[in-house]
Amino acid sequence: MSDREAFLEGMWKKAAEKEQTLRAAECLLEETAKPDFADLLKNMLVGIGFRQLYAGMAGVISIAFVITILTAYLLLKVVLQMGESVYVAAFFSAPILYAGIFTLSWIKERGSGCYELQMSCKYTFCHVLSARMLGECLTGFVFNGVYAAALALHCKADGIRLFAVSFSSLMLFALLAAAGILRGRQVRGAVYSGAVWLLINMVFLLSVPAVYGKLLEELPVFLFIGVGLSGMCVYIKQLILMTGPAFRKEYANAANTKRY
């Protein structure tokens, strides 16, 4: 074999090796690009961290809490005056804290104009959004637990039913909010979905109050827990989807297309 042939053969061998490495790297990258629940938790607790997730949001969180407590109190008064059960109040007020923190933090975030910068970081706007939505769900869960306990003590109602009712309500609302974002590729999709949820419940409550209250009082507790748990599973799946490259691509393109 001549020197030239040996050189060329060596070159081809190197090129084949490089191609193989690139293909392996691509497979590896494709695998790691699929996030799971562990990634979502890691982003929220370790990557971004709970403190940074709500950095500068102390004001809006406080406002959301005040709004929630006031609304829950007023709602309870109205519901009791209507002659309805406390379960109606628990079901109705369960998503308020979630909706309050979500909406107010979104308004504040929009005002800062940090979207473009965040989208170029390792943890993009979508990561922050999904981690916050998980955080809001957990906060709502704890708050509703305390509220259910308080209602059970104050109104001598079934605490477990109260908790199950508010849990299912919160998860259904959260599920709708996430579905709104995924479908509309805009954060305001969540606000629209939330408004629809509120409207449907209002109409239902005002048009057939007896049925509304009866359903919440008489349907088995495990059914509410079942609905809540199923909702939670789908919700987490939706949040994971939000951090994935496919949704980010759609979201980024939609965010930049509005003006055209």
Partner 1 sequence: MLQIQNVTKKYQNFTALEHINLEFENGIYGLLAPNGAGKTTLLKLITTLLFPTEGELFYDGVEIKKLDALYREKLGFLPQDFGYYREYTPEKYLHYIGVLKGMEQRKLREKTGEVLELLGLSEQKNKKMKKFSGGMIQRVGIAQALLNDPQILVLDEPTAGLDPKERMRFCKILTSLSKDKTVLLSTHIVSDVEFTANRIVMLKDKGVYCNDTVENICKGLEGSLFETAVEERALPEWEERYQVVSRRREGAAIIVRFISRHAEAGWKPVKPGLEDVFLSLYR
Which residues contribute to the site for partner 1 (CB under 8 A)?
Answer: 22, 25-26, 29-30, 33, 47-49, 52, 55-56, 112-124, 128, 245, 249, 252-253, 256-257, 260
* Min dist. Cβ of residue 8 to partner 1 (A): 22
* Min dist. Cβ of residue 254 to partner 1 (A): 10
Task: Indicate the burial class of 92 (C-beta count within 10 angstroms; 0-12, 13-18, 19 or more).
Answer: buried
- Report the run of H or E that residue 53 belongs to, with start and end: helix 50-53
Our CB check for partner 1 shows the closer of 33 and 202 to be 33
209-218 and 86-93 helices, crossing angle to 10° = 90
- In this structure, what is the dihedral angle of CA atoms 239, 242, 243, 244, given to the nearest 10 degrees? 120
Closest to 91 (Cα-Cα) out of 74, 76, 70, 110: 76
Our CB check for partner 1 shows the closer of 216 and 239 to be 239
Our CB check for partner 1 shows the closer of 197 and 251 to be 251
b/e code 131-161 from CB counts within 10 Å (16+ = b): bbbbbbbebbbebbeebbeebbeeeebbeeb
* Min dist. Cβ of residue 123 to partner 1 (A): 5
Our CB check for partner 1 shows the closer of 39 and 158 to be 39
* Min dist. Cβ of residue 98 to partner 1 (A): 23
Our CB check for partner 1 shows the closer of 64 and 94 to be 64
Our CB check for partner 1 shows the closer of 198 and 241 to be 241
The conformation of residue 45, written as its DSSP 8-state character, comes to I
Separation of alpha carbons 167 and 81, rounded Å: 24
* Min dist. Cβ of residue 259 to partner 1 (A): 8
Q: Terminal CA-to-CA distance of the chain, rounded, Å? A: 63
Q: What share of the chain is helix, strand, coil (3-state, %, to 5)?
A: 85, 0, 15
* Min dist. Cβ of residue 187 to partner 1 (A): 15
- Is residue 228 within 8 Å of residue 164, measured between CB atoms? yes
Task: Indicate the burial class of 218 (C-beta count within 10 angstroms; 0-12, 13-18, 19 or more).
Answer: exposed
* Min dist. Cβ of residue 3 to partner 1 (A): 29
Our CB check for partner 1 shows the closer of 49 and 226 to be 49
